[in-house]
Amino acid sequence: MTTNANNHDTHLAGPVLVLGTGLLGASIGLGLRARGIEVLLSDPSPSAQAVAQDIGAGRILPPGGDAAPQLVVVASPPDVTARVVSTALRQYPDAVVVDIASVKVSVMAELRRDASLTDADLARYVGTHPMAGREKSGPVAARGELFTSMPWVLCPSELSAPAAVKTARELAIDLGALVSRMSAEEHDESVALISHLPQVMSSLLASRLQDTPAHALSLSGQGLRDVTRIAASDPSLWVQILGANAPRLVKHLYGVREDLNRLINTLEHPEADGARLDLAQLMSEGNAGQARIPGKHGGPPQSFAWLTVLVDDRPGQIARLLTEIGEEGINLEDLRLDHSAGQDVGMVEISVVPGKRQQLVDYLSTHGWKVLQ
């Protein structure tokens, strides 16, 4: 394992105090503990902090104890993040304080308005955002490797001291994340478009399915499943995120509304002059935007070649397939299973680098697999 904790040099000295032991806070605790760093835990919910301690994410901060953390990680809900950061900066005057809320401008604005904080306090604060999560929440769902290979954005302000930024970076690196840096404004603009807008569009679509007849839903395909997957996300968290980034998100929603109105107008008069052209334009603009999304490896979008193999839907078949692919020395880039109601056969869609595709097709075909090119 390349992420084996024992081969991993740690950067933080610790102890690290984690305030808030939900999914992310408890995962940070687990990840740091796996690297031998001392972690203290605190949560307003006694049961949440007890669970976090029980799963090995650290030990509960003793009440009234004189902890002297090197770093305080504020992992509270976005709504209360600024308040918790402010308290931590005053309570631990030697510690660096970072938060991990998914919106950054509103937290910093609230801290600036906070008369109890000096510029010297704010020099020890760095806003950050680890872009990781799960569909489940709470400390029970926590895992130390949650941040492995995921982006972790640092958003220092002009008040942040270089040493504080260095400590924030070490936290992200020790947890195996990919660190990037941008201003709070750039961050919030970015996530409005690549995270908050997709969430809203998925929810708006899924909402339409509430009264759909069963015979219609029985025709659901992978397209519908993909577009609506994130509509299953936690409403209470998203209320806070959308509320805090409202001004940036709403700009994109104006754009969507304009396109939607144009589309509705076209569909109300589908035989009108130019209707076809309007529809083609909408679809082509979607093509153009979609093509700009980077691939999973951060490489050029859509750079892999796909093929499909039929397999029996029983234990070991996919393993046998992948074993043979591995024996041919070909690395799998992505894989998707597709099998439908009541059928004994599944389709495995496999992507490889384009130069390997024909080799793999030939190899699998000669080994008795049914390859659908």
Instruction: List the interface residues with a second copy, window 346-365 (CB under 8 A).
Output: 347
Give me the least distance between CB of 65 and a second copy, in Å please: 31
Residues 147-176 that bind a second copy (CB under 8 A): 148-151, 153
Residues in the chain: 373
109 touches a second copy (CB under 8 A): no
2 touches a second copy (CB under 8 A): yes
Q: Which two tokens stand for residue 94?
A: 């030697």
341 touches a second copy (CB under 8 A): yes
Q: Which of 87, 137, 199, 303 binds a second copy (CB under 8 A)?
A: 199
Give me the least distance between CB of 107 and a second copy, in Å please: 15
91 touches a second copy (CB under 8 A): no
Q: Which range touches a second copy (CB under 8 A), out of 85-93, 107-115, 154-162, 177-185? A: 177-185
Residues 121-150 that bind a second copy (CB under 8 A): 131, 143-146, 148-150
CB 174 within 8 A of CB 32: yes
Residues 277-316 that bind a second copy (CB under 8 A): 279-280, 282-294, 296-299, 302, 308, 310, 312-316
42 vs 60: CA distance, rounded Å: 6
Size of site (CB under 8 A) for a second copy: 143
327 vs 331: CA distance, rounded Å: 10
Which one, 323 or 358, has the nearer CB to a second copy? 323
Q: Which of 13, 68, 120, 260 binds a second copy (CB under 8 A)?
A: 260
Give me the least distance between CB of 94 and a second copy, in Å please: 32
Q: What is the dihedral of CA 349, 352, 358, 361, to 10 degrees?
A: -40
215 touches a second copy (CB under 8 A): yes
226 touches a second copy (CB under 8 A): yes
Give me the least distance between CB of 46 and a second copy, in Å please: 23
Give me the least distance between CB of 206 and a second copy, in Å please: 4
Give me the least distance between CB of 171 and a second copy, in Å please: 18
68 touches a second copy (CB under 8 A): no
65 touches a second copy (CB under 8 A): no
356 vs 358: CA distance, rounded Å: 6
Q: Can you give the chain as a three-state secondary structure string?
A: CCCCHHHCCCCCCCCEEEECCCHHHHHHHHHHHHCCCCEEEECCCHHHHHHHHHCCCCEECCCCCCCCCCEEEECCCHHHHHHHHHHHHHHCCCCEEEECCCCCHHHHHHHHHCCCCCHHHHCCEEEEEECCCCCCCCHHHCCCCCCCCCEEEEECCCCCCHHHHHHHHHHHHHCCCEEEECCHHHHHHHHHHHHHHHHHHHHHHHHHHHHCCHHHHCCCCHHHHHHHHHHHCCHHHHHHHHHHCHHHHHHHHHHHHHHHHHHHHHHHCCCCCCHHHHHHHHHHHHHHHHCCCCCCCCCCCCCCEEEEEEEECCCCHHHHHHHHHHHCCCCCCEEEEECCCCCCEEEEEEEECHHHHHHHHHHHHHCCCEEEC
Q: Which range touches a second copy (CB under 8 A), out of 44-52, 114-122, 166-174, 209-217? A: 209-217
Which one, 115 or 219, has the nearer CB to a second copy? 219
Other beta carbons within 10 angstroms of residue 36's beta carbon come to: 11
Give me the least distance between CB of 289 and a second copy, in Å please: 3
230 touches a second copy (CB under 8 A): yes
179 touches a second copy (CB under 8 A): no
Q: Which of 338, 353, 358, 365 binds a second copy (CB under 8 A)?
A: 338
252 touches a second copy (CB under 8 A): yes
185 touches a second copy (CB under 8 A): no
322 touches a second copy (CB under 8 A): yes
